[in-house]
Amino acid sequence: MDRHRPALTLARRVSLSAAAVFFAVFFLWPISTVIARGVFVDGALDLSPLTKLLSNSGLRRIIVFTFLQASISTLGALVLGVPGAYAFSRIAFRGRAAVLAILTLPFVLPTVVVGSAFVALLGENGPLGGLHLNGSLAAIVLAQICFNYAVVVRSVGSQWAHIDHSAVNASRTLGAGPARTWLRVTLPSIKSSIVSSALIVFLFCFTSFGLILILGGPRTSTIETEIYRATMQSLDLRTAAALSILQILVVGGVILGGMRFGRVDGRSPRWRPSQTGLLKLNNKRALALTLNLLVVALLVGAPLGVLVVRSFTDSGGLGLSWYRSLGQLGSTGLAETPLKALSNSLTFAAVATLIAVPLGLIIALAVTVKSGRSRSARVMEGAVMLPLGVSAVTLGLGYLLTLDTPPLDLRTSWWLIPIAQAIVATPFVVRIAVPIIASTDQRLRDAAALLGARPSRVWRSVDLPVIRSAIATGAGFAFAISLGEFGATAFIVRPDTTTLPIAIYRLLGRPGEANFGAAMASAVLLMGATAAILLLLDRDSLGSRS
Amino acid sequence: MTLSLRNLSVSYGDVVAISGVDLEIKQGTTLTVLGASGSGKSTLLRAVAGLEPSCGEILWGDESLHRLPTHRRGVGFVFQDHALFPQRNVLENVRFGLETPRYNRIDAAKRASALLDRVGLAGFEERHTHELSGGELQRVALARALAPAPRVLLLDEPYGALDRELRERLMLDVREILHESGVTVIHVTHDHDEAFALGEQVAILDAGRISQCAPPSEVWANPCDLRTARFLGHTSSLHAKRISAGSSSELNLATALGDFAIPHENGNTHGSFDAEYWVTWRPESLRAVSLRAEPQKGETQKGETPRQSERTSLRISGTTIECLFRHGEYLLSLETAAGRVEGISTESVSRGQRLDLDLNLSEVHAYVS
């Protein structure tokens, strides 16, 4: 056994070094360039771009608005999500799994799809167009809640399902009423998941880009959209860089602050609701359940439903004309048809997956090696989580600043897009793979060896099935994330290599019913592609679980 | 053939887990290793299996197993919590060790089914492990371990996770199955009853060392040292001094409860005249004199010089501190002239009550302190 170690170590070293170089070039270098651009002017330290953030009233208003919309959205997600956590994780009812899948849908869908769905619902000619919410704070907050509702329901619900319910019973036998029991026993035991999901939702809303770009108006600029506007329209890269620094500081601060309460976990894609200890339906619980189902129907069902319906509706009634138009350029103003954009997206996502999965696995294997959790491995794990603290927009800005000039001029090459998507997706692959790989039971390896299995057979029969399931799940998520990636791609996309999310955004920004219809149909296609991948992935992970 | 462990030691850095273990197990017999938790029981088994690097020698007959990797030692292992492969069903688990060129698929399936039948799980072939109860899982684990016909089978607290009734039934079944299969067994446990019931030899493992190894009745009757005696239920101990070389068949001791002699095989006689001893016994050796019976006079009074060698019991009086009903009798904790001791009464005794008890000297042990 021991004599296999040196070879393994060598392979691990080589692959880890390759991963480290990749991250240095495609993450650390761009990001440090952004930071340098914000604090150095002509080689000398100059904090004026940063101080301008406070002195300029326009920028100040943008920063305040960013915090405001994120706080309101987080509060809203909690107010709706905590009752949802109770209803969907504690009450037994038929169709529970389906409801959980539906309410999670917006969270796993590309932000562009969710944005399009709310435009379909709230925009001109939409069923709720009469409320004139489009472009308002309310529209943004509603969409953010829709997107993040599942985070609260799942994270709080998962903890709620697993708390010690005998403590609740004990409290009742000790004479505490339902309200007192909830406040003194239940709430403290689910507090940590409420706090951590609130922090995560806040971070998602704070760095939200696609949703706000699509739904917002001139008065709803946030830090992220302003970085984009300053870069693309006013070419004020210094201000963009200063805003990026602010973004990194706020996110870093929230993550550090959150660590004091518990873990800020990012997405937790594998959630297994407990099937045991569920409460039976009675009248009171049926009412609670109905109200929460209504929330899901309005918050998730309505926008996505309207999106689908409008994609099939033209002036002549129901039809496929918008879908037929996807193969044509028409008046779209795009350099490529939406169908070509879809094929670009699928290609890029496939390439990004091919990069992100091995990269994520190398890191996951390195950090889960039991003996000798090396320092370099831990540094690596920390480093790969950094992209979670840096928004995709900042990453895109970094690519724009570094990778379009020698020595590495990748700006004209389509490779840059899948690389950026891979950098965004890799942390999720690591997050998914680490617990799966770490769950391998050493005693199973022992048992196999004791039954006469050579080390290679031990690896094949015990380790490989586990890694295979990590690859399947990780690949599915990497593909879905890359397919819907918007923030970084928006900075580096070129007209002839446009992706479907970018095309949808462009179509929504152009006048005309045909362009709107094409956007709706494209969004439904993107939704279908993402859902198909996630379904495939779920079956895979189900198959390897039994 | 004999399985021999010679001077086997395992340490983790500076921490010594087991040290200098010497054991011999005859082919087809069972050795139980009894030890408290943390005594190194599991480490011992893992070292024999090759899962833990160790120093020393492990021999099967003349053949050294020590340098062989785990998968070539021909050693079976049953873990406390079964460690069945979750992706495989019951049959596939049992068949795992048979998936070698030595068996073709059909023979392997036949042998696996036969073993499942033998452990009482006929018809469970297609079941998944998560559908089974704790006892059933342990039966599958046993069948799986026996399938490749190991020379040596290691059982690591195999009944530890099961409740009492199930444990006792499974224990008897397994004993019969192991006996039939002729496999050589090392079985570690912290449970006294299990160790003494199942082993042809019982070894006591104390802080990584084997303190005693002998047939169960001998270990039970003659714990080799004070720690072992206490571990095996000698809850009472009192200080004593050797008062004469005496006859070679007896050891004469002076204690705060009077002078007496115990059979020489119950105490080591290395101690010279005046040597300090600890005298120990189990509660069962100190029985209350029936409360209604007339107290016999004068037996423990000092100054008298009775013919000690003829005495087989010592009368002790004490004040009851606690009285606990246990196994149909009352376990007493008493304050005596020599401190706290434990004894047995057939009748309930109230706290503070004084009573007389007889200490059966043939069951008392003495250890040089």
Q: Angle A483-A488-A490 (CA atoms, 0-180°, nearest 5)?
A: 85
Residues A303 and A331 both lie in one domain? no
Residues A63 and A147 both lie in one domain? yes
Do the Cβ atoms of B145 and A451 come within 8 Å?
yes
Residues from chain A contacting residue B77 (CB–CB below 8 Å): 446-447, 450
User: Is A18 near chain B, with CB under 8 Å?
Assistant: no
User: Is A546 near chain B, with CB under 8 Å?
Assistant: yes
For residue A175, what are the contacts with CB-CB under 8 A and spacing of at least 6?
none
The reply to whether A165 falls in a domain is: no
Mean pLDDT on A512-529:
91
Residues A271 and A373 both lie in one domain? no
Residues A380 and A271 both lie in one domain? no
Write the burial class of residue B268 (CB in 10 Å: 0-12 exposed, 13-18 middle, 19+ buried): middle
The rounded percent of chain A whose pLDDT value lies above 70 is 88
User: Is B135 near chain A, with CB under 8 Å?
Assistant: no
Length of chain A: 546
pLDDT confidence of residue A544:
37
Residue A265 above 60 pLDDT? Answer: no
The reply to whether A394 falls in a domain is: yes
Under the banding of pLDDT at 50, 70 and 90, the label for residue A142 is very high
Mean pLDDT on B303-325:
75
User: Is A455 near chain B, with CB under 8 Å?
Assistant: yes
Q: What six digits make up the tokens of A475? A: 């690949």
In one-letter notation, the amino acid at residue A340 is K
Q: What six digits make up the tokens of A450? A: 């004791």
pLDDT confidence of residue A470:
84
For B207-217, what is each residue's pLDDT tens digit? 999 999 999 99
pLDDT confidence of residue A119:
92
* Spatial distance between the Cα atoms of A519 and A504, rounded to a whole number of angstroms: 5
Residue A114 above 90 pLDDT? Answer: yes
Average pLDDT, chain B: 87
CA B366, chain centre distance (Å): 21
Which of the listed residues A242, A275, A307 is the one where a domain comes to its end? A307
More confident residue, A271 or B72: B72
Residues A522 and A380 both lie in one domain? yes
pLDDT confidence of residue A260:
63
Under the banding of pLDDT at 50, 70 and 90, the label for residue B291 is low
- Which of A440, A445, A451 to mutate: most B Cβ within 10 Å? A451
User: By the 8 A CB rule, do A74 and A225 touch?
Assistant: no
The reply to whether A313 falls in a domain is: no
pLDDT confidence of residue B292:
55
* Spatial distance between the Cα atoms of A323 and A524, rounded to a whole number of angstroms: 10
Under the banding of pLDDT at 50, 70 and 90, the label for residue A542 is very low
Residues A465 and A505 both lie in one domain? yes
Residue A400 above 70 pLDDT? Answer: yes
Do the Cβ atoms of B71 and A441 come within 8 Å?
no
- How far lies A138's CA from each of A70, A118, A134, A264, A525, in Å? 12, 11, 8, 27, 27
Residue B199 above 60 pLDDT? Answer: yes
pLDDT confidence of residue A411:
64
Whose CA is closest to A248, among A21, A38, A22, A503? A38
Residue A426 above 70 pLDDT? Answer: yes
The reply to whether A44 falls in a domain is: no
Q: What is the DSSP string of A388-402?
A: GTS-HHHHHHHHHHH
Q: How far is A433 from chain B (nearest CA, A)?
A: 18
pLDDT confidence of residue A379:
66
User: Would the pTM count as exceeding 0.90?
Assistant: no
Residue A408 above 80 pLDDT? Answer: no
For A435-444, what is each residue's pLDDT tens digit? 888 878 888 9
Average pLDDT, chain A: 84
The minimal CB distance from A450 to the residues B49, B87, B100 is found for B49
Give the three-state DSSP class for A155: helix
Whose CA is closest to A476, among A512, A429, A522? A429
pLDDT confidence of residue A41:
80
Residues A374 and A244 both lie in one domain? no
Under the banding of pLDDT at 50, 70 and 90, the label for residue A385 is low
Q: What six digits make up the tokens of A424? A: 């965004």
User: Is B148 near chain A, with CB under 8 Å?
Assistant: yes
Whose CA is closest to A401, among A1, A115, A37? A37
pLDDT confidence of residue A74:
96
Mean pLDDT on A474-489:
91
pLDDT confidence of residue A383:
65
User: Is A461 near chain B, with CB under 8 Å?
Assistant: yes
Do the Cβ atoms of B85 and A453 come within 8 Å?
no
Q: What six digits make up the tokens of A98? A: 């389906």
pLDDT confidence of residue A368:
75
The reply to whether A168 falls in a domain is: no
The reply to whether A363 falls in a domain is: yes
Mean pLDDT on A69-96:
93
* Spatial distance between the Cα atoms of A531 and A308, rounded to a whole number of angstroms: 14
Query: Which of A 127-166 lie inside 8 A of B, CB atoms?
Result: none
Mean pLDDT on A394-403:
88
In one-letter notation, the amino acid at residue A17 is S
| Residue A454 DSSP symbol | -
pLDDT confidence of residue A227:
92
Q: How far is B88 from chain A (nearest CA, A)?
A: 9
Please report, for the domain that includes residue A474, its CATH number.
1.10.3720.10
pLDDT confidence of residue A1:
38
Residues A288 and A350 both lie in one domain? no
pLDDT confidence of residue A358:
92
Write the burial class of residue A269 (CB in 10 Å: 0-12 exposed, 13-18 middle, 19+ buried): buried
Residue A345 above 90 pLDDT? Answer: yes
| Omega of the bond leading into A407 within 30 degrees of 0 (cis) | yes
The reply to whether A539 falls in a domain is: yes
Architecture of domain B2-222: 3-Layer(aba) Sandwich (3.40)
The rounded percent of chain B whose pLDDT value lies above 90 is 51
The minimal CB distance from B83 to the residues A444, A544, A546 is found for A444
User: By the 8 A CB rule, do B54 and B213 touch?
Assistant: no
The minimal CB distance from A450 to the residues B75, B85, B128 is found for B75
For B233-252, what is each residue's pLDDT tens digit? 999 989 988 887 655 678 88
Residues A250 and A333 both lie in one domain? no
Residue B306 above 60 pLDDT? Answer: no
For A98-112, what is each residue's pLDDT tens digit? 888 888 888 889 999
For residue A73, what are the contacts with CB-CB under 8 A and spacing of at least 6?
A140, A141, A144, A145, A148, A201, A205
Residues A376 and A292 both lie in one domain? no
What residues make up the domain containing A263?
50-160+177-307
CATH level 3 topology of B228-368: OB fold (Dihydrolipoamide Acetyltransferase, E2P) (2.40.50)
Residue A545 above 70 pLDDT? Answer: no
Range in A123-137, B71-85, B336-350 with the lowest mean pLDDT: A123-137
Do the Cβ atoms of A451 and B87 come within 8 Å?
no
Query: With left for phi above 0 and alpha for psi between -120 and 50, is residue A512 left, alpha or beta?
Result: left
For B108-151, what is each residue's pLDDT tens digit? 889 999 999 989 999 999 999 888 988 899 999 999 999 999 99
The minimal CB distance from B69 to the residues A1, A443, A461 is found for A1
Structure-token match 């046993």, residue found:
B142
pLDDT confidence of residue A124:
80
CA B12, chain centre distance (Å): 26
* Spatial distance between the Cα atoms of A258 and A197, rounded to a whole number of angstroms: 10
The minimal CB distance from A453 to the residues B71, B76, B86 is found for B71
Residue A6 above 50 pLDDT? Answer: no
Residue A425 above 60 pLDDT? Answer: yes
Do the Cβ atoms of B96 and A449 come within 8 Å?
no
Query: Which residues on adjacent β-strands are paired with residue B24?
Result: B4
Taking CA–CA distances from B150, the nearest residue in chain A reads: A451
* Spatial distance between the Cα atoms of A429 and A437, rounded to a whole number of angstroms: 12
Spans of all domains in chain B: 2-222, 228-368
Residues A140 and A184 both lie in one domain? yes
Under the banding of pLDDT at 50, 70 and 90, the label for residue A16 is confident
Which of the listed residues A256, A273, A307 is the one where a domain comes to its end? A307
Count CB atoms within 10 A of the CB of residue A283.
7
Write the burial class of residue B9 (CB in 10 Å: 0-12 exposed, 13-18 middle, 19+ buried): middle
* Spatial distance between the Cα atoms of A394 and A535, rounded to a whole number of angstroms: 31
Taking CA–CA distances from A446, the nearest residue in chain B reads: B51
User: By the 8 A CB rule, do A49 and A245 touch?
Assistant: no
Residues A302 and A364 both lie in one domain? no
Number of domains in chain A: 2
Mean pLDDT on A419-446:
86
The reply to whether A167 falls in a domain is: no
Residue B60 above 90 pLDDT? Answer: yes
pLDDT confidence of residue A384:
62
* Spatial distance between the Cα atoms of B134 and B161, rounded to a whole number of angstroms: 8
